[in-house]
Amino acid sequence: MAYATNIHTAPQDAAASRFSAIVHTLRTGLAKRKLYRNTLDELQSLNDRELADLGLHRSILRRVAYEAAYAA
């Protein structure tokens, strides 16, 4: 007579998968935040004439940087 044994390792794999997803989410969020800060810093370093050449005004720099970093 033959016996079959079924071994489940799903809880460990599920925990590792969740941890991996959390790490990925954090890394993605940090990368987007860094892109936002770098873009905003670069735009703020431009003088008014350079901003005008780009068609931008200082009042919209945060929005432009946000869209550059977080727009999908």
Q: Sketch the domain layout of the chain as residue ranges.
A: 22-70
pLDDT, position 12: 63
Q: What is the pLDDT of residues 4-55, one digit of tens each?
A: 777 765 566 888 899 999 999 999 999 999 999 999 999 999 999 999 999 9
- pTM, two decimals, is 0.75
pLDDT, position 1: 66
pLDDT, position 56: 97
pLDDT, position 68: 96
Query: Rounded CA gap, 66 and 33, in Å?
Result: 9
Tell me the DSSP string of 4-67. ------HHHHHHHHHHHHHHHHHHHHHHHHHHHHHHHHHHHHS-HHHHHHHT--GGGHHHHHHH
Query: Rounded CA gap, 36 and 50, in Å?
Result: 20
CB 42 within 8 A of CB 69: no
Q: What is the mean pLDDT of the chain?
A: 91
